[in-house]
Chain A
């Protein structure tokens, strides 16, 4: 009995000591450096890139910058925004913050969480388009260093296509011919996608094929300045197209997630994967067949084409960081050509926003980028200004897009709902 009590006492004492110890470690955000080295904690949603950061990017930086160490600490993409805001409010966020484009980061800047970065060395290599995702409405202040943009398209299994003698489609009619042929053959599912995660249908599908209908920037600005409504035909038409895709998706697609779809595609069981250029690395690693990509199909042959070329990721500085100088040094490195080269090549599919060509040695990335020559670029439809109220456009788009594909909402009703939601709080501006 005595020994047991003694052991229990020791156990408790040990636990208490350990608990107190860990408490100290957590003070502040990322200042865990010992001795000379300062450690900067980098927040990001690109958890998939963790290996690349740890193996290549971080060593490259640390080698040329003695005394500063980096720790890449990603959060799951679906939770990043909420978790980051929580951490920033609680004063526990990292020193360097990966910035989502447009409204989301603008909110953070206006809340005082991000520092302006206009005065950093190397910022003049970024033009207005590059900065557009991380600049105040008046264009005066930039608060994140633009890092990369991503392009939306369609990956396809070349082996399946070759076997059936199919060519990548250019128009929606072609697309349906191809889809029907694959469906008839039965060996693979035509479209590898599910609707349960919602964001892929909204961001990749709707805002991916949509620009061809609403003429890219023209259509996007029209919604913003109020000269167009969601209920206009050019915004409803993409929904009508999407409503026909359900039949080409795997059985039970209503419960399939984005990850399920990726596995289906890389396994060779799905022929076409609507996706963004960010998947290049993963697909090349996992797919056992030849990969190809084709641009979003045109409604009518001969139409001018538009691509969703979305400034996607930037790097900013936590206004409350204890290592402002080191953070600035890091951001200046991010703005440099050296980083642009490194990043674009290590993570093909993330296209550097720096002015001046960056050599990328990857066939698929080249394909994506080549579309910029023939097509006009535009950013994702709801990204700017339309999320600042309740209901936020993104949330609504997520919900209605998947319902349209599921067949539980008609395209007309979907558009109606989007416009009503917008009308409830939005006042058109320039």
Chain B
């Protein structure tokens, strides 16, 4: 009896120990993951000297200082940058979702000659980094007189997101039971109605596409730098980067600007992440 008890206890201890180890590793990595961002945010609330004296300490009542934020809101056009980023991101995501959903629906629903070819054509874009097309894009938008417009960015990002969007959504559309669609048709529904009926069923996929599109678009530095660097069309990422150059010596303002840049994407990510994860686990892997 005693012998068995010891074994049970030992096994349980080992299990608890193993679990503790798992938690330890995950906690450790989580700290590594969020540490740097926390560092930026914490220091943005400290006065200049305190930042250099002890960069790794939290702000205390004596070192608390919001002058950086004041500078940012006074001098820089951060509200404009924020509005630009938000608009470009939301419209791009919307564009990708609508356009990809339509195409994915068509590719999984209709059988026609050339379907395979069309699919390859559209999906090939996944493997081609759109930045390589920059020279051509600058040329194109230049001739359309669309340099320094937000629409130039939006169109590029939609184009960029289409291949992956169609790829992900195709998986989901393929899983929609055909009986549902047939039933709708028998009831006299037009193609649009059929499409509208299937949409709610692919919601996780839409979430996945939203996240995959939103992240690279909001944080993109390249296209705003090359296509829309003007003051009024600057996005938040570009604005923060320019800001760093301008206020090289104003560390408070720099840190404040960066901290502000963290918030929007984090919020958007938290909003979409549940759908995103469902989307991945339910469909994308197949």
A83 close to B229 (CB less than 8 A): yes
B229 close to A26 (CB less than 8 A): no
CB distance from B200 to the nearest CB of A (A): 9
Docked complex Cα distance between A196 and B83 (Å): 35
Within 8 A of A (CB), among B228-283: 229-233, 241-242, 244-249
Docked complex Cα distance between A79 and B246 (Å): 11
Beyond A12-B94, A18-B83, A50-B75, 18 additional pairs, beta carbon < 8 A: A15-B90, A19-B150, A22-B87, A22-B232, A26-B233, A47-B247, A75-B242, A76-B245, A87-B148, A89-B142, A90-B138, A91-B145, A258-B248, A259-B249, A263-B52, A263-B249, A267-B52, A282-B249
From A47, A73, A78, A92, residue with most partner B Cβ within 10 Å: A92
Docked complex Cα distance between A73 and B151 (Å): 23
Determine whether B147 belongs to the interface, using a CB cutoff of 8 Å to chain A: yes
Asked, given contacts A15-B87, A19-B154, A23-B150, whether A86 binds B229 with beta carbons under 8 Å apart, the answer is yes
Residue of A nearest to B145 (CB): A91
Interfacial chain B residues near A22, Cβ < 8 Å? 83-84, 87, 150, 232-233
Determine whether A25 belongs to the interface, using a CB cutoff of 8 Å to chain B: yes
Interfacial chain A residues near B233, Cβ < 8 Å? 22, 26
Q: How large is the interface on A (under 10, 10 to 19, 20 to 34, 35 or more residues)?
A: 20 to 34
Asked, given contacts A50-B75, A90-B142, whether A76 binds B148 with beta carbons under 8 Å apart, the answer is no
Docked complex Cα distance between A279 and B253 (Å): 20
Determine whether B107 belongs to the interface, using a CB cutoff of 8 Å to chain A: no
CB distance from A237 to the nearest CB of B (A): 32
B246 close to A92 (CB less than 8 A): no
Determine whether B226 belongs to the interface, using a CB cutoff of 8 Å to chain A: yes
Residue of B nearest to A24 (CB): B149
Number of A-B contacts (CB under 8 A): 77
CB distance from A100 to the nearest CB of B (A): 16
CB distance from A348 to the nearest CB of B (A): 17
Interfacial chain B residues near A220, Cβ < 8 Å? none
Asked, given contacts A19-B87, A19-B151, whether A78 binds B249 with beta carbons under 8 Å apart, the answer is no
Within 8 A of B (CB), among A183-203: none
A91 close to B245 (CB less than 8 A): no
Contact of A26 among B142, B226, B230, B242 (CB under 8 A): B230
Interfacial chain B residues near A86, Cβ < 8 Å? 226, 229
Determine whether A113 belongs to the interface, using a CB cutoff of 8 Å to chain B: no
| Number of chain B residues close to chain A: CB under 8 A | 32
Within 8 A of B (CB), among A249-264: 258-259, 262-263
Determine whether B91 belongs to the interface, using a CB cutoff of 8 Å to chain A: yes
- Could you write out 6 A-B pairs with CB less than 8 Å apart? A16-B91, A19-B154, A23-B150, A47-B248, A75-B242, A87-B148
Ordered nearest first, which 9 A-B pairs have the shortest CB separation? A76-B245, A47-B246, A90-B147, A92-B148, A259-B248, A23-B149, A26-B148, A19-B87, A92-B230
CB distance from B236 to the nearest CB of A (A): 14
B245 close to A79 (CB less than 8 A): yes
From B232, B247, B249, residue with most partner A Cβ within 10 Å: B249
Within 8 A of B (CB), among A81-114: 83, 86-87, 89-92
Residue of B nearest to A91 (CB): B147
A77 close to B229 (CB less than 8 A): no
B147 close to A92 (CB less than 8 A): yes
From A75, A90, A262, A286, residue with most partner B Cβ within 10 Å: A90
From A23, A91, A258, A282, residue with most partner B Cβ within 10 Å: A23
Docked complex Cα distance between A386 and B67 (Å): 45
Residue of A nearest to B250 (CB): A48
Interfacial chain B residues near A50, Cβ < 8 Å? 75, 246
Docked complex Cα distance between A61 and B90 (Å): 41
Interfacial chain B residues near A233, Cβ < 8 Å? none
A76 close to B246 (CB less than 8 A): yes
- Interface bits B129-145 vs A (CB < 8 Å: 1, else 0): 00000000010001001
Docked complex Cα distance between A12 and B246 (Å): 35
Interfacial chain A residues near B94, Cβ < 8 Å? 12
Determine whether A74 belongs to the interface, using a CB cutoff of 8 Å to chain B: yes
B245 close to A25 (CB less than 8 A): no
